[in-house]
Structure 1
Amino acid sequence: MSETRCYPRHANTDAGEIEFRLMARADEAAVLAFAKGLPTHDLLFLPRNISEPKVLSAWINEIERGAITSLLAVKDGRVVGCGTLVRDPHSWSPHVGEIRMVVSLDVRGQGVGRALSQETFALALGAGLEKLSVQMTVDQRAAIALFESLGFKAEALLRDQVRDVDGKKHDIVVLGHNIAQFQAQLEAFGLPEAVRP
């Protein structure tokens, strides 16, 4: 899925230089430490709790199977973010991908999330996907604003969709981005290279 992009790649952010690399089984311990350092609320939009070792192991199995591509954002040898592109070529929606992204508290607001989301978006373009979705709890305003700035628009509100460890229910917002329409608009303006990975 990432043939058109070479890794590792680097980006300069306000948090310093960030290395992006594809996640592999060798990263399991580092990703588990990263996930355990995240507030539980930040994990609610994910289908499973990635701070559980068995869930992380299953995630890596999906990476090795080719169903998921995950990018790690690494600063000074420590995982500070993860962007994942999920797609199912055998479903009724092989043209649609889902982005899942989490970033450490200590680098938020410093451009790491933006760089990671742009890199994950580029992976989706390289995979030939036509539409992307992303979901998060409605109170994650900074994340919603970030994805809206990339052209995502609200498509659904799922009320009481997830329940946290204290039993409190939370709403989930689903944002979508029609890549095919975006590419067609750029081509109409003579700018197709703007969306090439």
Structure 2
Amino acid sequence: MLKKRYPKTITLNGKAVELSILTGDGNDEEVLTFSNSLPAHDLLFLSRDIQEPKVIAAWMQSIEDGDITSIVARVDGEVVGTTAIVTDKHSWSSHVGELRILVSPAARDIGLGRTLVQESFLLGLDLGLDKLTARMTIDQEAAVNVFEELGFKTEAMLRDHVKGRDGKKHDLLILSHDVEAVNSQMQAYGMDKAF
């Protein structure tokens, strides 16, 4: 299914955005350049600091190993957004994918974040996942709003769970979406997939 859907070019607010599946082969430098363009606060929801080359290398290896499926968004050949659906096929939660979305400040307010969440939802269906989760700091109101508008619900808030480079602690919000329920509902209406 992925090969049929990607790569593709969409237009958002007059900008041509190319979406493709990120491969772990040879993309380290462009992803590192992208991650270094992001404000540090935007990265607090991640388990690791993706502004470190070794963390990017581990991400690319996880793509190759099949533990992460990622989409990359480019404008004029430059990375402006990425997604990752992180799964662990050896855990008790192998039916759950953790969704991570990052959008460059230069590409915000054009609908790219919303588009990447929707595309990731499709990936979740393709991967046979029952549930998607997303984490973000509670003060990332625009991101929280996008996820909630797309059907994600708050499951938990962890107080003072992450600490920025400045030493300030932040609450971490965990949202989730029941992919299986949406897929079942669409099938009940005679549709193959939700999208």
Normalising by structure 1, we get a TM-score of: 0.93
Return the alpha-carbon distance in structure 1 between the equivalents of residues 28 and 14 of structure 2.
24
Q: Give the number of equivalent residue pairs.
A: 194
Return the alpha-carbon distance in structure 1 between the equivalents of residues 183 and 50 of structure 2.
33
Return the alpha-carbon distance in structure 2 between the equivalents of residues 13 and 193 of structure 1.
27
Task: Indicate whether 1:109 and 2:103 are aligned.
Answer: no
Return the alpha-carbon distance in structure 2 between the equivalents of residues 47 and 5 of structure 1.
32
Higher deviation after alignment, 13-22 or 120-129:
13-22
- Provide the secondary structure at the position in 2 that maps to 1:38: coil
Q: What CA deviation, in whole Å up to 9, does each residue of 1:1-32 have, x standing for no partner? A: x6464421221101511111122232211111
Name 2:36's counterpart in structure 1.
36
What does residue range 110-125 of structure 1 map to in structure 2 within 5 Å? 110-125=110-125
Return the alpha-carbon distance in structure 2 between the equivalents of residues 100 and 15 of structure 1.
25
Return the alpha-carbon distance in structure 2 between the equivalents of residues 12 and 84 of structure 1.
22
Q: What CA deviation, in whole Å up to 9, does each residue of 1:96-137 have, x standing for no partner? A: 111001000011111111111111111111111011100000
Unaligned runs of 5+ in 2: none
Cα offset for 1:149?
Answer: 1.2
Name 2:70's counterpart in structure 1.
70
Name 2:93's counterpart in structure 1.
93
Q: Which residue identity lines up with residue 186 of structure 1 in the other structure?
A: M
Name 2:191's counterpart in structure 1.
192
Name 2:13's counterpart in structure 1.
14
Q: Would you say the 8 A contact 1:162–1:172 is kept in 2?
A: yes
- Provide the secondary structure at the position in 1 that maps to 2:160: strand
Higher RCO by CA contacts (8 Å cutoff, separation 6 or greater): 1
Cα offset for 1:67?
Answer: 0.5
Name 2:128's counterpart in structure 1.
128
Return the alpha-carbon distance in structure 2 between the equivalents of residues 145 and 47 of structure 1.
22
Sequence identity, in percent? 46
Q: Which residue identity lines up with residue 83 of structure 2 in the other structure?
A: G
For the structure 1 residues 174 and 38, does the alpha-carbon distance in structure 2 shift closer, same or farther, using more than 3 Å as the test? same
Name 1:160's counterpart in structure 2.
160
Higher deviation after alignment, 176-185 or 95-104:
176-185
Name 2:22's counterpart in structure 1.
23
For the structure 1 residues 152 and 43, does the alpha-carbon distance in structure 2 shift closer, same or farther, using more than 3 Å as the test? same
Q: Which residue identity lines up with residue 176 of structure 1 in the other structure?
A: S
